[in-house]
Amino acid sequence: MAPRSPWYARSAWFACGKAAVPGAILPTLGLLAPPWSVQAHLTPPSRPMPSPPEPAGGTGSNEAAPTPEATPGPAAIPSPGAIPGPEATPDPEATSGPATAPAFPLCAPLLEPLLRAWLAEDLGRGDLSAPALAGRSARAAWIAKAEGLFCGGVLVEPLFRLLDPAVEVRLLVADGEAVRPGQRLLSLEGSAAALVAGERTALNLAMRLSGIATATAALVAQLAGSGVRLADTRKTTPGLRLLEKYAVRCGGGVNHRLGLDDAAMLKENHLAWAGGVAAALAAVRAAAPWPARLIVEAETEAEAEAAVRAGADGLLLDEFQPATLAALVPRLRQLAAERVAAGGAALVLEASGVRPEQLQAYAASGIDLISSSAPITRSAWLDLSMRFESGAA
Whole-number average pLDDT of the chain: 78
Domains of the chain by range and CATH? Answer: 223-377 (3.20.20.70)
- How high is the pLDDT of residue 135? 94
Instruction: Write the pLDDT tens digit of every residue in 250-285.
Output: 999 999 988 999 899 999 999 989 999 999 999 999
Cα angle value 204/208/209 (rounded, 5°): 120
Q: In which element (H, E) is residue 108 found?
A: helix 108-123
Compute the CA torsion angle 298, 304, 309, 314 (nearest 10 deg): 60
Q: How confident is the model at residue 150 (pLDDT cuts 50, 70, 90)?
A: very high
Residue 375 or 5, more confident: 375
Q: What three-state secondary structure class fits 124?
A: coil
Active site residues: 200, 235, 267, 297, 318
Instruction: Write the pLDDT tens digit of every residue in 190-200.
Output: 999 999 999 99
Exposure string over 274-302, b if 16+ CB within 10 A, otherwise e: beebbebbbebeeeeeeebbbbbbbbebe
Alpha carbon separation from 216 to 51, 68, 126, 166 (Å, rounded): 22, 48, 37, 35
8 Å CB contact between 374 and 219: yes
- How high is the pLDDT of residue 277? 93
pLDDT value at 301 more than 70: yes
Instruction: Write the pLDDT tens digit of every residue in 90-126.
Output: 333 333 333 333 344 455 577 889 999 999 999 999 9
pLDDT value at 57 more than 80: no
pTM above 0.85?
A: no
Residue 345 or 153, more confident: 153
* DSSP codes joined into one string, 33-66: S-TTS--GGGSPPP-PPPPSPPP----S---PPP
